[in-house]
Structure 1
Amino acid sequence: MSNAINDGGDCTGHRPAVTEAEVEALVRGICFKTGPPRSLGVELEWLVHDQRLPQRPVTPERLRAAYATLRTVPLGSALTVEPGGQLELSSPPTASLMECIATVSADLDTVRAVLAGDGLALVGIGHDPWHPPRRFLHEPRYDALETCLDRGGPAGRHMMCASASVQVCVDAGHEEPGPLGHARRWWLAHQVGAVLVAAFANSPLMGGRPTGWMSTRQLMWTEIGAGRAGAPPLNGNPRAAWARHVLDSPVMCVRRDGGPWEVPDGLTFREWTRSRRPRTPTREDLQYHLTTLFPPVRPRGHLELRMIDAQPGDDGWIVPLAVTAALFDDPQAAETAYRSLKHLAERAVNLPAPHNPLWTDAARRGLADPELREAAAVCFAAALDALPRLGATTEVTDAVAQYMDRYVARGRCPADDLLDRPPGPDLSPAAGSPAAHGRKDFRP
């Protein structure tokens, strides 16, 4: 959900209408591109605060000036701005874990240096602990999104303007069954997703006070509703299930060349293809509709895992990236994770993520939940064993091992550090956490 995908057009011209059957065929072909896993990517969202006084809101004028400077700097990753002024760095598809880490680490060094010149800092936390949601971008897409989400309450504005995440992108997988098959990886993403929510929960505060949730960010996503931010049922073929979900999800907006975009209430894309009102939908409308759905796992040719809170420290994002890459791209680790998570599926109670008890418990309790703690221990151990096979350096494996000792083995997550000692003026993590040990060079 970045500024880069807002093309601003209508968006219809004289393009032909798309039919219901065409939508299903297009979604099946676009969203699951199968083959052996070869590529890895990461998308990092960051809050941007005043370097000296993070509790003081940063003015829009100050952000615009800093971002104008950033646009002149060459980066290997795509740099975009979120509705509340958060920054997002999206890596290009990379051929290995270490290539991904090296590319993004170098870009972050550059971005931090530019922001520091304006007295600003990137902050890795899943939900802003101090500031209420405030929109920075005023464009037709975000006007429409705000109007749409406001119908369900305030959670949408928090998601748009006050949240930040680590999103890991892995290939969809083989057509054939097995640990790296696309059907298995689709199932695994939704089960291990709850473990990732719990293990990396890092947003227990809002307005300077505890919310009662380890991942307030995940709570906000849950409250948005299943049509906009939910997954399809996991029973059956992933392509068919996702195509039905796309057709039966509500349309966020009908784009126009001039004036505000129309925001229909309850109109699904399936109904739009049948009624052809308020105008006929096109393939471009379908492509746009896909960008307005925010499930915890979004198929975009690859799988985009969207459930991990932004992490503390300059390099805290590397641990969830490394663990996720190992669990998906190493066959042995994938099989171990699959077997260890099968019993957790019973807690989903046939409700799609994130609106089932498993995901709710992960967001509320983190690794204080005994079953999630046990599953996390198995998954982290499998990832740690697999990382050398993926070419990870000693620095990366050490970081994962330290995280496992500090958090997983103790049934803790970064949110516990924030509750033990809320962030100070410099937003430094609690003493003893891996992020407090100083920066390491993770580049080869």
Structure 2
Amino acid sequence: MTNTIVSDLRETPPGPAPDTVLTSANDAASYITAKCLTDAPVGRVGLEIEAHCFDTAEPRRRPSWDELTAVVAGVPALPGGSLITLEPGGAVELSGPPLDGVLPAIQAMADDRAVLRNAFAEAGLGLVLLGADPLRPAKRVNPGDRYRAMEEFFAASQSGPAAAAMMTSTASVQVNLEAGPQAEWTRRIELAHALGPTMIAIAANSPLLGGKFTGWRSSRQWVWSQLDSARCGPILGLSGEDPASDWARYALKAPVMLVHPTPEEDAVPMSDWVPFADWANGRILLGDRRPTVADLDYHLTTLFPPVRPRRFLEIRYLDSVPDADWPALVFTLATLLDDPVAADTAAEATEPVATAWDRAAQIGLGDRLLAEAAVRCVQAAAERAPAELQESMQRLVRSVELGRCPADDFSDRVVRNGIAAAVTEVAQGEQ
């Protein structure tokens, strides 16, 4: 959920000044299509991992903003160069720099995770890698203006409970990959979407939310599915042949969430449904004015599709999973997109389940077709895994072949020990 841009794989191309006024939706579309994807060779990888923060002595208590910022301030320099940010509900995110190759990105993130875990443990806090908070009710602790305004917007749009859970009770592993050579954009973005259901089923790790089993392997994905599809749904158009134009149409149809009356003033949430295109075309004036390029850039940060073009591809559909699992998960996804032969295997394997988003989130690998696709995908990745990842990859392959995902392991722990005890065990580092 953070708006800090730290994993950009390419620099922002030159363009109009931020205060340039947009005079039509066509102007806005041209701006979006010109900057949303960058022609570049594949290979660089950026990772972002979110973890829920728990008090290991009182797991039902949500640490305060002051506590969290004090711990973050005392974290020593991270060897992998990640940036630490705090999510609306107090989850802690590490955002790594883009590196040449998936293995260096994994190793750097693992090193930074170790330093971060130790710093929080010294303060009596544990970082729990789950897709959704299994114990505590949704609550915002981050006092930032952006998140307050988002909260007000979602409340006015009748999606308050789901939005509150999304903002304060979910966590993910995010994989950022180059868009690739322009001739391959369509294929890569289609495959990134087609892989979504299969990867969700493999990574599902949020069987509980707010103290209850939800009946979904990925409650995180269930929460996101309840939000407005114009802001959070997939971006592919009917043909998928021009992903940059698809993204422009998506962005212009999406309603404006927040407006800054002036660049210096706090964001104001919108109570009416106003597509950005209507604002740009002058049908409706928000703040008694037309939008600027800065307004459009900000609008794009309030859109949360499962695959978001930000010059690179920001893949957002994976639950946060334990340290024993995320290296293999990240390697699998990057390999299936960046290795041409593995990509062909993945495209064929996932075709029958390419749109099964809800089925993947609810029953995961319990679905026969998803399980078959998952086995082929992880085996294709495992064949290409370097020695450093063999243990993690073999663990993933075994789990998938057994039809199990991380949610099953956590559910078993909860059934044995109760929710609070299970959270405490994980927060204290018991895998």
| Distance apart, 1:109 and its partner CA | 1.7
Distance 1:427 1:369, change over 3 A: farther
Counterparts of residues 251-266 of structure 1 (less than 5 Å): 251-256=256-261, 257-258=264-265, 261-266=268-273
Kindly provide the CA deviation profile for residues 392-427 of structure 1, in whole angstroms up to 9, marking residues without a partner as x.
3x231221111111x211111111122222153564
Name the residue aligned to 1:183: 186
Name the residue aligned to 2:254: 249
Q: Is 1:35 the equivalent of 2:40?
A: yes
Q: Is 1:320 the equivalent of 2:313?
A: no
Match of 2:357 among 338, 351, 359: 359
Name the residue aligned to 1:9: none
- Counterpart CA distance in 1 for 2:54 and 2:222 is 23
Match of 2:198 among 195, 198, 217: 195
State the one-letter code of the partner of 2:41.
P
Counterparts of residues 324-339 of structure 1 (less than 5 Å): 324-339=333-348
SS of the aligned residue for 1:421 comes to helix
Distance 1:420 1:113, change over 3 A: closer
Kindly provide the CA deviation profile for residues 158-201 of structure 1, in whole angstroms up to 9, marking residues without a partner as x.
1101111001111112222xxxx111110111111111111110
Match of 2:105 among 91, 100, 114: 100
Name the residue aligned to 1:400: 393
Match of 1:293 among 303, 310, 317: 303
SS of the aligned residue for 1:212 comes to coil
State the one-letter code of the partner of 1:16.
T
State the one-letter code of the partner of 2:230.
G
Match of 1:410 among 402, 406, 411: 402
| Distance apart, 1:16 and its partner CA | 2.8
Is residue 55–residue 425 contact of structure 1 (8 Å, CA) maintained in 2?
A: no
Q: Is 1:273 the equivalent of 2:280?
A: yes
Name the residue aligned to 1:110: 115
Name the residue aligned to 1:2: 2
Name the residue aligned to 1:63: 68
Is residue 53–residue 426 contact of structure 1 (8 Å, CA) maintained in 2?
A: no
Task: Give 5+ residue unaligned stretches, structure 1.
Answer: 7-12, 349-357, 430-434, 439-444
After superposition, the CA RMSD in angstroms is 2.1
SS of the aligned residue for 1:132 comes to coil
Q: Is 1:283 the equivalent of 2:283?
A: no
| Distance apart, 1:259 and its partner CA | 5.6
Q: How many residues align?
A: 403
SS of the aligned residue for 2:382 comes to helix
Name the residue aligned to 1:10: none
Distance 1:288 1:56, change over 3 A: same
- Counterpart CA distance in 1 for 2:222 and 2:299 is 23
Distance 1:215 1:57, change over 3 A: same
Counterparts of residues 122-201 of structure 1 (less than 5 Å): 122-150=127-155, 151=157, 152-176=159-183, 181-201=184-204
Is residue 25–residue 277 contact of structure 2 (8 Å, CA) maintained in 1?
A: yes
Task: Give 5+ residue unaligned stretches, structure 2.
Answer: 7-16
| Distance apart, 1:64 and its partner CA | 2.9
State the one-letter code of the partner of 2:2.
S
State the one-letter code of the partner of 1:375.
A
Kindly, what percent of the aligned residue pairs are identical? Answer: 37
Name the residue aligned to 1:432: none
Is residue 18–residue 294 contact of structure 2 (8 Å, CA) maintained in 1?
A: no
| Distance apart, 1:50 and its partner CA | 1.3
- Counterpart CA distance in 1 for 2:343 and 2:267 is 47
- Counterpart CA distance in 2 for 1:171 and 1:396 is 22
- Counterpart CA distance in 2 for 1:205 and 1:186 is 31
Q: Is 1:223 the equivalent of 2:226?
A: yes
Distance 1:3 1:80, change over 3 A: farther
SS of the aligned residue for 2:93 comes to strand
Distance 1:295 1:259, change over 3 A: closer
Name the residue aligned to 2:367: 369
- Counterpart CA distance in 2 for 1:58 and 1:366 is 32
Name the residue aligned to 1:351: none
State the one-letter code of the partner of 2:187.
R
SS of the aligned residue for 1:224 comes to coil
Distance 1:198 1:183, change over 3 A: same
- Counterpart CA distance in 2 for 1:92 and 1:136 is 27
| Distance apart, 1:68 and its partner CA | 2.7
- Counterpart CA distance in 2 for 1:14 and 1:326 is 37
SS of the aligned residue for 1:154 comes to helix
Is residue 170–residue 304 contact of structure 1 (8 Å, CA) maintained in 2?
A: yes
How does the TM-score come out when normalised to structure 1?
Answer: 0.86
Name the residue aligned to 1:419: 411
SS of the aligned residue for 2:342 comes to helix
SS of the aligned residue for 1:45 comes to strand
SS of the aligned residue for 1:4 comes to coil
Counterparts of residues 197-212 of structure 1 (less than 5 Å): 197-212=200-215
State the one-letter code of the partner of 1:157.
A
Name the residue aligned to 1:353: none
| Distance apart, 1:209 and its partner CA | 2.0
| Distance apart, 1:260 and its partner CA | 5.7
Is residue 232–residue 242 contact of structure 1 (8 Å, CA) maintained in 2?
A: yes
Distance 1:361 1:240, change over 3 A: same
- Counterpart CA distance in 1 for 2:18 and 2:194 is 44
SS of the aligned residue for 2:99 comes to coil
State the one-letter code of the partner of 2:219.
T
Q: Is 1:311 the equivalent of 2:321?
A: yes
State the one-letter code of the partner of 1:332.
V
Counterparts of residues 10-29 of structure 1 (less than 5 Å): 15-18=19-22, 19-29=24-34
Name the residue aligned to 1:80: 85
Is residue 200–residue 308 contact of structure 1 (8 Å, CA) maintained in 2?
A: yes
SS of the aligned residue for 2:126 comes to strand
| Distance apart, 1:55 and its partner CA | 3.0
| Distance apart, 1:126 and its partner CA | 0.5
